[in-house]
Structure 1
Amino acid sequence: MLEELALAEDVVAACVDAPAWPLPEHDLIAALDAAHRLQHRLASVTLALIREVDGRGTARTRGASSTAVWLRERLRLTVPAARRLVDLATALDTGNPGIRQALADGAISLDQARVIADTVDTVNTSTDAETADRAVGLLVGWASQFDPGHLRKLGTRILDHVAPDIADAATQAALDAEARRAARDRHLTLSEQTDGRLRLTGTLDTETAGLLRAAIDPLNAPCGPDDQRSAGQRRHDALAEVCRLALRTGDLPGSGGDSAQIVVTTSYEGLSRQLSSGTLDTGLSLTPETVRRLACDATLLPAVLGGTGQALDVGRQRRLISGPLRRALVLRDRGCAFPGCDRPPRWCHAHHIHHWADGGPTSLANAVLLCGHHHRHLHHSDWTVQLGRDGHPEFVPPAWLDPEQLPRRNHYHRRT
């Protein structure tokens, strides 16, 4: 397979270098259709490879918490996009082979294959394999005429065409299946932008959407005739106020031994002189004005930093890595320190590099932040962790993974 893919890559590379402008319009359109069809056929190969990687457990043996997370690191995908590929690869492998063949033939796109697989999954709950085969054939035929959105709408009434005698009963099954898919596909992604802001994207299930609207709608109204904020800005400010109200209750779960709180790093001199910007424990930056406003209504937690951003003094050490020591660890690691992991500090455990029970001290030089998965993985694998010369953690892979055992670092968290 590797040789064939290498040949295909060479052919595609030749097409990349070939100019399109000399083509007559008919040939130009034909070339576009051929390239689009080839993209679908390659997608079929990609899904087969992903299914094999997932089935072997390759991701976990290499330290990732799931195949989707490993694909994010390997192929530079978002986790939701990678998860959708894994789910579709599984559906095509275990479901109706007609869908996989249609994709391999270039007759349908990835998105259309996903719609057909979801529809057939619903049909299978209500009828037999023969009826499901007829549904696939009908949907594949429609795919040449309709985009994925329209195809999904047609799929909701597919049994009217292939099994009208059970169509009404199957409608309820379709609704139930849609609810299950909504629960499966729910997600919220926080993407850091270059200027320190966050972009929120995601899909909420029906219940959560109702909760969000119920929470922000009362805070979303204009403050008066002089309120110049747009509707989107009002929703943003309403969400911020909901978060403030939640933090004030004191009822949120603890995070690494500390109560839920916002941690801002700044210098005392800069704060007193009204010049210093600040950095949240998530790595995002704040203006000096925002830092001073937060300081007016906050418990100040001092942390003295060295010239390279190392925490030098964070208060009294404890047996457990909590309180001031944990805050110092958050300042240094910014999240799970294992290579390729993007879990934030609030999701992380504090791990003793040299185990406390074996005489290891509870100190910043003997601690590292790890998410739950990578904490367990480090305890049950041949990976080791150490601090580099600059005081930041680095991980040495096992020899079977990297014969040279070159130390690796996490590059997902912004460093100072």
Structure 2
Amino acid sequence: MPTLPDTLLERAAAVAGVGGSATTFAALDGDELTRAASAIAELRHCVDQFAALAAGEVAHRSRQELGHRGLAQQAGFLNPIAMIQAVAHVSRHDATRLVEAGTMIAEAEFAEAVFVSAAADAGAAGADGAASRVLSWRERLAAAVTEGALSLDAMDAIRRVLCEVTSCDDDTLNAVADELVDAARGLTPDQVHRRARQARDIIDAEGIARREKEQRDLRSVRTWWDATGMHRGSWRLAPEDGALVAEAFAQILSPRRGGPRFVDPAARATAEDLLNDDRTDEQVAADAFVDTVRLAVDADPGTLFGVRRPCVRVVVTADRLEKRTGPGHLEGRNDAVSTPTIERTICNTGVISVGFDSDGQCVNVGRDRRLFTERQRIGLAVRDGGCRFPGCDRPPSYCEAHHINPWASGNGRTDVADGILLCRRHHLLIHDNHWEVRRDRADYLLVPPRSVDPTQNPIPLPGRSPAMGDLARQPAPARA
């Protein structure tokens, strides 16, 4: 197996061979540019490992028990993270990531050296010993980084989430770490972080209520006047409250973002007015925010505004709701919520039942309608969790329902099974650039045009809804 220095030299040579000016990169064709970008990313990952090793050793030489004799304090820094920030010219977040990663790699190497030494001593004494040992989840992540299977960013995303687990045995944590390392291939760090949070909520369901309370305790609103005379502000809201605010803005801007097709004449006219409005999305949102505050300040208590109340949907399987075992998930956000939150939401908004067959498909309604109904869109939102195009993170409120078989030319059915959610941009991409979506029972595949992939290899389109994963994990009902 090549050493880290050998790998660094090999990848540095590959990048250097591309050239070092904008002109040389401009001369590359599409395939060459893609390969160059990939080579640069591989080199960066390798350099990150060196940076982590250095940061981990700085942290070790600056550990708390050394006090003023520690490396960081001798150099005039409060702690090793501050020292790495100054030396490497990186943010505090990046310095923390490097220190944590380097510490984990060093711990894994030390544990392996101790094990090998003990095994050698046992062998010399003629004692029987195990030929291998069980790695902790931290050691598994460190090994994945050193083997090149996991980037430092992805490792940090998994580490931060698994450190929050409080009620889980070591074997389960180790298994989840392995699953997340395997799943991380081809995913961005943000996607890995979401996947890790979903796994955390499955293995540590008892901690969901605690994490909800911690998030509520962090809620805040700050307002101030800046130097230009503008009034500014920021807020931090727990997922449940944030989803309500986000849904309100999503409804306001829905015609521009995609959202449901308008069939009511009055709604269509309102949507066209907004599409033709010369204000930016940010200006529309700002005006709506001020109007909302003005209405709330001037209104009598109990006044109901608008024709449609923004709502937060919590998605939960019937089995979990009946047994009060939780968790549920916020639609579009996939944040886990506890049983008390589920019951409070149901008390406020009621229940919409969405039935699924054994393949995980919603019940269909046939071809009598051109557009998907509101109830079908709820089913699509529950099943898909947002835009299903690879790498897209748009929630259901940004999405349109796409007929995978053209309704007019392909005799397509307005069935939930034959529709998927796509954001406006990816919906247009599929229609305008000859991409195709195919269905195999409950699985959906994206077929690129030959101009993108001459072999047209299908790309899986997994749903993003953790509730569907909860449904799949339920034991099949016993047959009479």
Shorter-normalised TM range:
0.3 to 0.5
Q: What TM-score do you get using the length of structure 2 for normalisation?
A: 0.39
TM-score by length of 1: 0.45
